[in-house]
Each structure stands twice: as structure tokens, then as C-alpha cells.
């Protein structure tokens, strides 16, 4: 492989040859492969990360194409899982990188199996339940992670170093981090790219082991109205925080906080998780459905009936589109599966 691939990055003095070698030895876990995830993944792969693990529970839809840069119309037409489409494109960009992809809904069991052995976690999710889960796991395993959020023309980012900075649980007690979503007020591509520019720069600092260069503030901005703020938050760290304080209980890793059914953030969609791990046979499922329109690929089966669409994944999960009512979603689920 050509030695010129990373030449411009090595010329940047804070990275240099030594830093490039460190990047090649590091493992990053990226949770969420949507707008922030695809941009962060591409940056890391082009930078020469040694190993990248990508995790996402969803598939590509037409509304994703405006800002989720690794996906194509073919991916949306075929409803390809995001991690599958992203992995394919990332391998074309840099065949030297080890990429591990998981079609997975991240809950306690999953996050505890993914984080050990990683050097950095990047947040590219779309809801705070998962972020708080990630926050607790990173505190427990002492792994740095970088929070990122984006909606409309607004964005924010913050780097969390266990034992040194306030954690996300501390922040939520003191700083309003917003409640709007991309599905309610939209989002523009430049705001996405600005968030991932901050996340990517902070990630490189951690990967080359230059933590002294970390910004150390909560970054917020409005790219449309030209507003930009760096907020000092070091004083809000709480000694009694159950996630990072003196007597930690990691509340968001407790089994009772793991939901089996949930309304997806900002969408008329309910996700239902099976009570136990399974490997669903999609061919058998298709043979059992005798009404409605059915589409299938190697990763999922989509079933439309009336105003609803149900998407069945091989891991047992089901997305019920067209409702926010968990009771109604579960009724449809049991009607199809028995």
C-alpha cells in the first residue's frame, strides 16, 4: 500500500509519524450510523484508524439521503441495514482498516460486550436513553467518549474523560441539551458536518494521546444564525453523581431500566425487542404471512398491511411503523407472530 496515503496528515506536526502509528493501533466504537455516524466513520477510516466497530439498529430510508453521506438510492430502495451499506462503502475507501459491523439495538448487554478493549467511543445516536447507557458503560470501563447532537441548524459536542470531566449525567442536571428532533424540526447538512468536525478533531487528539489539546468545553452553535459558544462546565461535576461520583451505581446499566418496547425518537414507529436472543428465519416468516405486501432482503423482511409497515430483523427485533401506541404495536406483533 502506498506510503503517501497519510502523508498530509503526518505533515501536521501535532500528529506526525508517531501519531499516525498510534492511530493505526487504536480501536474506536461508533454507536449510530446516521448523519453523524456516517460522517465520523468516513473521517476515521480516511485517517487510518486501526479498527472501527460500527453499530446501528435501523435501515436506510429515502429521508436519510439528504445528509447521511455513505448511502445511495439503491440502499434506500432495498432497505439495506445502515451498518451493511456503510461497511461496504468504508471498505472501498480504505481496505487497510479492520471494520466490524453489527445490526444491533444497543442495550445493557450489548454495550457491556462492545466497550471492553476499545480506546474511544463516538456518540452518533438519536436519543438520550442510549447516550446515558453509553455514559455509564464508559464510566465503568474508563473509556473516553465524545457526545454529539444536531437538529435544525443547531449542534453541540462535548468530550467526556472518565475521572477528569463531568459526565453526561452531570450535564443533564445543569445544562438544557434540547428536546427537538430531526423528525420534528428537520436538520441541514452543514450543521451535521460542523458537529462531526468537532468530534473528529477531538477524536484525533485522544487517538494520538494528546489530551492536553482537548477543548474542555461544551460546544454549541447555530450555523444558520452564526452563533458559536464554548461553555465551561467543569464546575458542574457532582461528587454524588450515580454515574461518575464517589459511590457509583451506574443506574442506566441496571436491568430494570432496559425497555423491551419503545417509541423511536421523533418517529411514528415502535420498536419491539424479543424477551430473549434469537435468530429469526426470515424465509419461514415469509411463508407464514398470507396477506399484505412483503419485501425481503438477506437482513430483514418488510411487511405492509393497511396504514402500517412492520420490519422484522434476524435478531428478533420488529419495527412497527405508523403508530406511537406501544399497545397497538404489540397487538399487531402478536397478530402476525402468534
> Where are the chain's structural domains?
7-255, 259-337
Mean of pLDDT values over 223-247:
92
| pLDDT value for 53 | 98
Q: Does residue 224 surpass a pLDDT of 90?
A: yes
Residue-level pLDDT at 1: 46
Q: Which of 165-179, 255-269, 291-305, 318-332 has the lowest mean pLDDT?
A: 255-269
In this structure, which topology does domain 7-255 adopt according to CATH? Rossmann fold (3.40.50)
- Is the separation of the CB atoms in 22 and 16 below 8 Å? no
Res 261 pLDDT > 70: no
> Is-above-0.75 flag for pTM?
yes
Provide the mean pLDDT of the chain. 90
Asked if the model's pLDDT at residue 68 lies above 70, the reply is: yes
Contact in structure between 132 and 259 (CB atoms under 8 Å)? no
Backbone angles phi, psi at 282, to 5 degrees: -70, -30
**The domain made up of 259-337 is a member of CATH 3.30.310:** yes
Query: CB under 8 Å to 187, separation ≥6 — which residues?
Result: 35, 67, 150, 151, 152
Name the packing angle between helices 35-47 and 82-93 (round to 10°): 20
Neighbours of 306 (CB within 10 A): 9
Q: H or E element: which one contains 40?
A: helix 35-47
310-323 per-position pLDDT tens digit: 899 988 888 998 88
Share of the chain above pLDDT 90, in %: 62
Please state which of the ranges 31-45, 110-124, 174-188, 203-217 shows the lowest mean pLDDT. 174-188
Can you give the pLDDT at residue 177? 63
pLDDT in tens, 105-153: 898 889 999 999 999 999 999 878 889 999 999 999 999 999 999 989 9
Q: Looking at residue 2, what is its pLDDT?
A: 60
Alpha-helical runs (H) found in 208-262:
none
Amino acid at each position: 500500500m502506498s506510503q503517501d496515503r497519510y502523508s498530509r496528515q503526518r505533515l501536521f506536526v501535532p500528529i506526525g509519524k508517531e501519531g499516525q502509528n498510534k492511530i493505526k493501533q487504536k480501536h474506536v466504537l461508533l454507536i449510530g450510523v446516521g448523519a453523524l455516524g456516517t460522517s465520523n466513520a468516513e473521517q476515521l477510516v480516511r485517517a487510518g484508524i486501526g479498527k472501527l466497530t460500527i453499530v446501528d439498529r435501523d435501515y436506510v430510508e429515502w429521508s436519510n439521503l439528504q445528509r447521511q453521506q455513505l448511502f445511495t438510492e439503491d440502499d434506500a430502495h432495498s432497505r439495506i441495514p445502515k451498518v451493511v451499506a456503510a461497511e461496504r462503502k468504508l471498505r472501498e475507501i480504505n481496505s487497510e482498516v479492520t471494520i466490524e459491523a453489527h445490526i444491533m439495538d444497543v442495550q445493557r448487554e450489548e454495550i457491556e460486550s462492545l466497550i471492553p478493549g476499545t480506546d474511544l467511543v463516538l456518540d452518533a445516536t438519536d436519543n438520550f436513553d442510549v447516550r446515558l447507557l453509553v455514559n455509564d458503560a464508559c464510566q465503568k470501563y474508563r473509556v473516553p467518549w465524545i457526545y454529539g447532537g444536531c437538529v435544525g441548524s443547531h449542534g453541540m459536542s462535548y468530550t467526556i474523560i472518565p475521572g477528569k470531566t463531568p459526565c453526561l449525567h452531570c450535564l443533564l442536571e445543569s445544562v438544557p441539551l434540547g428536546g427537538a428532533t430531526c423528525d420534528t424540526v428537520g436538520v441541514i447538512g452543514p450543521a451535521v458536518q460542523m458537529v462531526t468536525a468537532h468530534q473528529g478533531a477531538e477524536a484525533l487528539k485522544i487517538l494520538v494521546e494528546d489530551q492536553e489539546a482537548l477543548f474542555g468545553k461544551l460546544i454549541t452553535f447555530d450555523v444558520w444564525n452564526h452563533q458559536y459558544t464554548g461553555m465551561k462546565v467543569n464546575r458542574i461535576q457532582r461528587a454524588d453523581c450515580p454515574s461518575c461520583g464517589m459511590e457509583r451505581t451506574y443506574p442506566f446499566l441496571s436491568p430494570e431500566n432496559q425497555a423491551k418496547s419503545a417509541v423511536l425518537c421523533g418517529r411514528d414507529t415502535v420498536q419491539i425487542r424479543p424477551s430473549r436472543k434469537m435468530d429469526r428465519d426470515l424465509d419461514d416468516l415469509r411463508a407464514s404471512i398470507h396477506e399484505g405486501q412483503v419485501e425481503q432482503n438477506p437482513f430483514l423482511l418488510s411487511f405492509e398491511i393497511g396504514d402500517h409497515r412492520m420490519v422484522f430483523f434476524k435478531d428478533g427485533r420488529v419495527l412497527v411503523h405508523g403508530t406511537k401506541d406501544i399497545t397497538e404495536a404489540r397487538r399487531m406483533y402478536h397478530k402476525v407472530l402468534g
